[in-house]
Amino acid sequence: MPAIGPDDNVMVPAKIKGILAPVLTPFDQNAQPNVGRLVGHCKWLLENGCDGLVLFGTTSEANSLSVGERKRLAEQVVSAGISTRKLILGTGCCSLSDSIELTKQAIELGSAGALVLPPFYYKSVPDEGLFRYFGSLIDRVSDERLRLYLYHIPPVAQVGFSLPLVRKLTERYPGTVVGIKDSSGDWENTKALIASLGAHDFDVFPGNESYLLAALQVGAAGCISATANVAARPLQAVFQSWRAPGAKELQEAAGRVRIAFQKYPIIPGLKAVLAKALNDELWKSVLPPLLPLSSADSEKLFASLTETGFPWQQLSMR
């Protein structure tokens, strides 16, 4: 059950730890989100190695969806029976008012948290500007149930969270700013976050499972990885066994899948794999400006995955 808040009346969502999938969004031939496929995929993920789900992150193509589309999809997923205790909703937008609207909905739905991008259109903004943005977001949402996870992805957003900024936010909003997804690809940054904040009930999730074992060994909460959409069980094996003999071999096996995907655009690649495994061409659909993976690259990716021992049969069982 969720914990009771400080005033004994506010229901605070329990924090999710472990392997989380940033869920792919399926689209139909008219470029509209396909709710049936999305719900089916969410259910499969939770039954096949995922401790939780992140809707509307980068892998979900969230920034190609409108606020209205995101709100409707979130409501539909919850109405279809996906447990809100297993859901973190991506709510970060360049517009502060949009972020507030989506974050309020995440709380009203009872989600386990909100994953929030920095406002990413204006580059080279000072930490103080980002602090004011997040302070305004938290103050205007004004709800003790809010559990906010920072989304650090400078390779894409080109705006990120410095360690001093993260410290300042956690000190000003303890119990509200509770974690970060570190998709910097910089292991030294991930280690620094864990070393500085891990003892303060602040959860660090690397966004690349290549660092999963090493991160768990120094105190990470798990990982939020795109490849969990198709291969969460090997990651769960690492999470469950990281203290045991053989953990290094499990990590290496999981890492080989990541290496295969890294040669191609990862969202089209993941969707190509699902389309093949499920014999469902609609899974290839991505929203512009993304393009589906070419047939030639798809075949190369499939061959590389097969060489890793990729669980095609498990993926096809829906």
Under 8 Å between Cβ of 50 and 85:
no
**What superfamily in CATH does domain 3-242 come from?**
Aldolase class I (3.20.20.70)
Which of 5-9, 70-74, 85-89 is least confident?
5-9
pLDDT in tens, 216-262: 999 999 999 999 999 999 999 999 999 999 999 999 999 999 999 99
Q: pLDDT band at 7, cuts 50/70/90?
A: very low
C-alpha to C-alpha distances, 15 to 43, 112, 147, 172, nearest whole angstrom: 20, 6, 8, 20
Alpha helices in 142-227 (DSSP H): 154-157, 163-172, 187-197, 212-217
Catalytic residue numbers read: 58, 121, 151, 181
Q: pLDDT band at 9, cuts 50/70/90?
A: very low
Q: pLDDT band at 10, cuts 50/70/90?
A: low
| Model pTM score | 0.94
Query: Number of C-alpha atoms within 13 angstroms, CB side, residue 154?
Result: 12
Q: pLDDT band at 318, cuts 50/70/90?
A: confident
Under 8 Å between Cβ of 34 and 300:
no
Pairwise CA distance, residues 148 & 175, whole Å: 9
pLDDT in tens, 154-182: 999 999 999 999 999 999 999 999 999 99
Kindly report the average pLDDT of the chain as a whole number.
94
Q: Span 280-309, mean pLDDT?
A: 97
Nearest of 191, 192, 188, 232 to residue 209 by alpha carbon: 232
pLDDT in tens, 25-82: 999 999 999 999 999 999 999 999 999 999 999 999 999 999 999 999 999 999 999 9
Q: Is the pLDDT of residue 4 over 90?
A: no
Q: Span 88-113, mean pLDDT?
A: 98
Backbone angles phi, psi at 75, to 5 degrees: -60, -40
Q: pLDDT band at 200, cuts 50/70/90?
A: confident
Composition of the chain by helix, strand, coil, percent to 5? 50, 15, 35
Q: Is the pLDDT of residue 1 over 70?
A: no
Domain ranges of the chain: 3-242
